[in-house]
Amino acid sequence: MTSTKSFQNQTTLIATLGGQPQIVTFTLDLLLRQGAAVDQVVVMYPAPHPRYYNAYRTLMGEFVGDQYAGRRCHLRSVPIRFGDTNTADECTPAQVEQIHATCNELLRSLKEQGHTIHLSLSGGRRMIALMALQAAMVHLSPVDRLWHIYTTPELTAQARDGKIMHVPPEGGVRLIPVPFVPWAAWFPGLRPLLELNRREQQEQPQSWLRDEERERCKEVWERLTPRQRMVLRAFADGSTRTQAAGQLHVAVSTIDSHRRVILDHCRASWADEEVTIDTQFLRQRFSPFLRGMDLL
């Protein structure tokens, strides 16, 4: 008879992480004191972003050898990546969809594996917490829990940037349960409808363009050299800078040079609109444009 805990009976703490790693350990300590047998901690944070990565590295120091406070507990991260950009509180629609997709996939996969979930919404970017809450209503069940952590102003100031990673009972920190409605668990027929709606929302921006947007894309396309068009097509297909360089057998610096020219042309064509011109913009606008060209 093995002493290893059944994979189907694991308990996982999912925490949104910002620059304050102690929020995760404060939450975990309180859950363990309540008797929750947490086997795994999964943290979600924006990447690439050195401040959040450094917070995760600080957190790693609390889980040496898959041990936490003398008990077995595994730590892993789910960095939410957006190509070459950092996440900000003001996210583009594509970044919001990326956060949404990551949260949905994480919660869906853990619940399919039979995990009990504690979801902490206190750290990191607000948009990640909002998307995690939405995913919780789709994938979690009544046995799962959502939490917000409260720390006194004095403790918040003293513990900032991980200066204090643990506090004793009654040390100025407490967990507040967050009510939520697990719609799909109570009404199983909703799950396929919610999933279908999510896929339609995800696919819609890539499936059509207004005539005005199509004309702007055409203006940019006609200004580009054949090589620049190949780079634009790679970005429109969702490739990263490194992937595009590999596909075209050139250096990443060459891709960057072509991309700068492409983005400058886009800024000229969309000069009258307040839109963020970046790699995600190229995918959103030119993916449907190029698909339409290929069908002609």
Residue 207 pLDDT > 50, yes or no? no
Contact criterion met (CB below 8 Å) for 101 and 199: no
As its CATH architecture, domain 209-295 has Orthogonal Bundle (1.10)
Neighbour count for residue 164 (Cβ, 10 Å): 15
pLDDT tens sequence across 8-57: 579 999 999 989 999 999 999 999 999 999 999 999 988 767 888 899 99
Residue 99 pLDDT > 90, yes or no? no
Q: How many whole angstroms separate alpha carbon 276 and alpha carbon 267?
A: 9
User: What average pLDDT does the structure give for the chain?
Assistant: 84
pLDDT tens sequence across 81-98: 654 444 445 566 667 777
Residue 204 pLDDT > 70, yes or no? no
Q: Per residue in 210-220, is it b (16+ CB within 10 Å) or e — as a string?
A: eeebbebbeeb
Cα first-last separation, the chain: 65
Query: Which residue is associated with the tokens 């200066």?
Result: 163
pTM of this prediction? 0.64
Nearest alpha carbon to residue 219 among 159, 262, 279 = 262
- CATH code of the domain made up of 7-198: 3.40.50.10770
Output the CA–CA distances (angstroms, integers) from residue 216 to 101, 182, 259, 291, in the order listed: 29, 44, 17, 15
Alpha helices in the chain (DSSP H): 22-33, 50-60, 93-112, 126-139, 153-159, 183-186, 190-207, 211-223, 226-236, 241-248, 252-269, 279-295
CATH 1.10.10.10 placement within the chain = 209-295
What's the one-letter identity of residue 226?
P
Dihedral of CA 282/259/216/91: which sign? positive
CATH 3.40.50.10770 placement within the chain = 7-198
